[in-house]
Amino acid sequence: MSGYLSRVFEYAVPCLLFWGVLAVSVTVDRSRFRNCIYLLLAAASSAPLFCVLSGSHALGTARALSILIFAVLLSVPAVLIENGVIMYRKEGRSLQNMLSLLMGILVGVGELCFFLFFIFPIFWSDQNSEFITTGMKVLLFISLSVIYVSVVFVSFMSYTVLLQLIPRKRDFDYVIIHGSGLLRGREVSKLLADRIDKAIEVYEKDPTPPILIPSGGKGRDEEISEAEAMEQYLIEHGIPKDHIIKEDRSTTTRENLAFSKKIIDERDADPYVALVTSNYHVYRALSLCDDIDLECTGIGAHVARYYWPSALLREFAAIMSKKKNLLIFIAGWLCSVIPTMDAVMWSVIQ
């Protein structure tokens, strides 16, 4: 029993440590990319602890978890390719609509090469030492890098979902509604209507109804500003005009937030603010809030299921474009891909 307890303690310490670090980091700032990495490490450290806690079934549990992990990895390219085909049919052939299809093909080829040329030969080849060539080393490096990207993307996707599940206080003072393009120059689109409907839901559930700030300027092909179209929608759905303040100068997400913050700061010294946008966009919006020192709670509005993976890929790319996030991403790549590559080649040689 003492041996069992010591093993449980050995694996419980890093597991509790990573989950604790994640909890503290999310509490301090929900918008940091590091939270995605902490979530990945916390999940990874939970697997061996779960196996040890299974006692005599530890081996079976380890095999089941391995199968589950491989299934998740294999599902990533399948889901992305399927989503790419749906996006092509429903939204057209633009590059952003084809992004999930291209990413799915890339990840699928990378995983296929890894399993076909490395995992299978390790277990079934009798002449493994002859298998390692310079070309295969390069292929292994590329395959592991692609798998690393897919793993980090899954972690990012999981964290965006987690953000929606974290309990939040109500009684907001202000609710910023992010704009989106208008149909035929003046009509609210389905995507934008979902955001406004979510803000109305927040407004109606709040014990002291907040001020709603529809945010969005007038595009080149639009007859009115997005903020004006949103204001009309809000009034038509029962929101009093004196509970609405338009922000109609912005043209980007950052300006949405910066100009809305200016409106709030002129009225209130210590406000409790929420921002409502599409669920895939909450993480990046919060990251931009952090850049301009706007403290707020992110609330995600529903989007069509087929639209979510492709949109999330674009958000992931935008998040990675920030220098500090890219440095974290590269550090994780160096600490995972290189040691894994060495371990695979050592297994083959042995």
> What are 98-152's pLDDT values in tens digits?
888 888 888 888 877 777 766 655 555 554 445 556 666 777 788 888 888 888 8
Span 288-309, average pLDDT: 87
Residues 147 and 186 occupy one common structural domain: no
> Is the residue at 306 inside a domain?
no
Contact 226, 191 (CB under 8 A): no
Residue 312 maps to a domain: no
**pLDDT attached to residue 79:** 85
Distances (CA, A) of 137 to 13, 107, 134, 245, 309: 36, 18, 5, 60, 32
Highest mean pLDDT among 94-98, 250-254, 262-266: 262-266
Q: Same domain for 21 and 143?
A: yes
pLDDT for the residue 258 = 94
Which residues, in sequence order, are CB contacts of 300 under 8 Å at separation 6+?
A: 163, 164, 198, 276, 277, 278, 279, 280, 281, 282
Within this chain, do residues 218 and 260 fall inside the same structural domain, yes or no?
yes
Phi-psi region of 125 (alpha: psi -120 to 50; beta: other; left: phi over 0): beta
Pair (151, 226) in one structural domain:
no
Mean pLDDT of 231-245: 94
Asked if residue 146 belongs to a domain, the reply is yes
pLDDT band for position 194 (50/70/90)? Answer: very high
Same domain? For 69 and 127 the reply is yes
Choosing from 271, 305, 334, the residue where a domain stops is 271
Q: Are residues 157 and 61 in the same domain?
A: yes
More confident residue, 303 or 346: 303
Share of the chain above pLDDT 70, in %: 88
What domain count does the chain have? 2
Residue at 313 is within a domain: no
* pLDDT score at 6: 78
User: Does one domain contain both 115 and 223?
Assistant: no
- pLDDT of residue 347 exceeding 60: no
Q: Is the pLDDT of residue 56 over 80?
A: no
Tens digits of residue pLDDT in 163-181: 888 777 778 999 999 988 8
Are 9 and 145 in the same domain? yes
Same domain, 199 and 69: no
Q: How many residues in the chain? A: 350
- Whether 180 is covered by a domain: the verdict is yes
Give pLDDT, residue 229.
Answer: 92
Is the pLDDT score of 212 beyond 60? Answer: yes
| Parallel, antiparallel or unpaired: strands 211-215 and 296-301 | unpaired
180 plus 159 within the same structural domain? no
314 inside domain = no
At 214, is the pLDDT very low, low, confident or very high (cuts 50, 70, 90)? very high
Q: Does some domain include residue 29? A: yes
Q: Closest by alpha carbon to 186, among 216, 155, 166, 148? A: 216
CB contact at 8 A, 284 and 318: yes
More confident residue, 40 or 210: 210
- The CATH number assigned to the domain holding 266 equals 3.40.50.620
First to last CA, the chain: 35
Tell whether 118 and 48 lie within a shared domain.
yes
Q: What is the pLDDT of residue 4?
A: 65
What range defines the domain where residue 181 resides? 174-271
Residues 156 and 183 in one domain: no
The pLDDT value given to residue 312: 87
129 assigned to some structural domain: yes
